[in-house]
Amino acid sequence: MRIAIVNDMIMAVEAVRRVLAGGGRHELAWVALDGEEAVARCAADTPDLILMDLIMPKMDGVEATRRIMAQSPCAIVVVTASVDDNSSKVFEAMGAGALDAVNTPVLEHPGESEGAGALLAKIETIRKLLGSPAAAKTSLRDDGAASIAAPGECLVVIGASAGGPAAVAEVIRHLPSTFPAPIVVVQHVDQQFAKGLADWLAGQTSLHVRLAEAGDRPAPGTVLLAGTDNHLVLDDSGRLSYTRTPLDSSYRPSVDVFFKSVGRFWQGDVVAMLLTGMGRDGAEGLRILHAEGHHTIAQDQASSAVYGMPKAAVELNAATEILPLDKIGPRLTNIVAQKLKLHA
């Protein structure tokens, strides 16, 4: 891949450059020393991936990410001195369209960098995402699969990736504290950021938000967020669990894996939505749920930070509705109320 580096610290640029050179699989496209320069360079020469610092003069990494995703979109990974110390800005950057975040590697000895493996692993994940083909279509239920949940129960499921934290927050912010359906969210995010994301989302809504734990049963008024690098699934007992398989999925956790498990084991109503994100994860799962008569929503292009995943769903005719982000929360409240009234 052609990779650009955006960082105002020369030592950090050199550390990242050495990691890329040592990996032997990638080409350095260009280097920018601040966000303003990065926006201009990206418009003239869009790379496959940008490794974006957060704290820089003239324009920080959050604003640079926002402008690049609006003008000349490409994959962006935040590379900053300390992800933990800058978690709020990391989530802002992810809300603007960044896919992931990792600590800046540190030069130790000649030819060696602490943190090189973590950075190369992130780059490899992005490479697989950008090069991954559309998932093969599969049937909704295996023969003999047991379904759970009474017909009157309604489950809301949400999938999101780049730009997702802000999008998910916007959806749940509009829901009342008495929202009568459980919500489960699969957001592409590294396990180390999941707890911080759940805490941040909890501050955006009157609903209870926490990480999903193995054995949880989705409950009304609660938002459960996938919280590990394994796939979140609904099992045949009606509870949530985590699984390592499939091992070849470009993203962990995978929206498709979760949506398909919901289709297999949830007998009640489902309202499923696919929000902003790069790639195609979730589109096939949404198609399967739509084919079974469940209500499905795709975020529209104008309000998406990255119109990849919802676009893929639209191309598969997987969406019952295509809505701007600010309309999804109120619409969800109406849909769930109507479904519950029908079964009352």
Report, as residue numbers or ranges, the catalytic residues: 161, 188, 281
Structure tokens at 70: 């609006």
Cis upstream peptide for 246 (omega within 30°): yes
Cα(93)–Cα(109) distance, rounded to whole angstroms?
31
What does the alpha-carbon distance between residue 1 and residue 75 come to, in Å, rounded to a whole number? 11
Paired with 271 in beta bridges are 156, 295
d(C-alpha 58, C-alpha 55), whole Å = 10
H-type helices in 141-190, by residue range? 164-173
How far apart CA 245 and CA 188 sit, in angstroms, is 16
Beta bridge partners of residue 50, listed in sequence order: 4, 76
The stretches of the chain forming alpha helices (DSSP H) are 10-23, 35-44, 61-71, 87-96, 116-131, 164-173, 191-202, 255-265, 283-291, 309-315, 325-342
**Cα 272 to Cα 188: distance, rounded to the nearest angstrom:** 16
